[in-house]
Amino acid sequence: MNITGNTILITGGGSGIGRGLAEAFHALGNQVIISGRRKQALDETTKKNAGMKSLTLDIEDPANIRAFVDEVAAQYPALNVLINNAGIMRFENLQKQQDDLADAESIVATNLLGPIRLTADLLPLLRKQPYSAIMNVSSGLAFVPMAPTPTYCATKAAVHSYTQSLRYQLRESTTEVLELIPPYVATDLLNGAADPRAMPLAKFIEQVMDILKNQPKAVEICVENVKALRFAAESGHYDVVFRGLNEAMANVSH
């Protein structure tokens, strides 16, 4: 992936991994536009990064996505990189679910349908550029699920599969398709920022940018901390990794 000279849209860019990526790409001189539901978080981020732009987006709402894409195309016609990062994670007790499955449906709408819709609507603009890239953010939990967050893990597994298909369909185009596979990172997702077991956000972003810089042909961006999950099946250690991950979560209240 080219890491300079881009106009980049990052969903969920007001906090966590999205903000970290936004600031890293911004520091390299790219034009960065962040989006998300929380205008306050977006404003705080752009205020600290002069020249960074923001647009609000409700990634769960198909009509809002279409209007958002029209606004992006009008204001940033040179947009050539989309980073689908926005996501939510919630504990779910599958033995005591409510009838309306509101949490599960919201997770699916945000983590899976949102990126699919946004990619579909932005792809014509991206394809107009001499070079473009789509980076979908999945998770190590796409490969080894954490049982207390079943729908989150399922959506990330689906993002991985969707990304593979998208990459293959665009293989003869000028649009690169990448997958960023984070480990457990210290963000506000499930209060990970306070968990000493989580990888520090700054360290994660530093390693991601190093991979993008030094391995420009990489299509899966995996820092060392996530490789045990990403390659659990290939290594023959899936059962051990699955059991270890979920035994570690056994005492978590949900």
Tell me the catalytic residues: 152
How far is Cα 22 from Cα 86, in angstroms, rounded to an integer?
13
- Phi, psi (degrees; rounded to nearest 5) at 249: -95, 0
Distances (CA, A) of 231 to 41, 52, 119, 168: 35, 36, 27, 21
204: tokens are: 């994660």
Q: How many residues does the chain have?
A: 254
Secondary structure percentages of the chain, helix, strand, coil, to 5: 50, 15, 35
Distances (CA, A) of 247 to 143, 237, 239: 17, 15, 12
How far is Cα 136 from Cα 160, in angstroms, rounded to an integer?
8
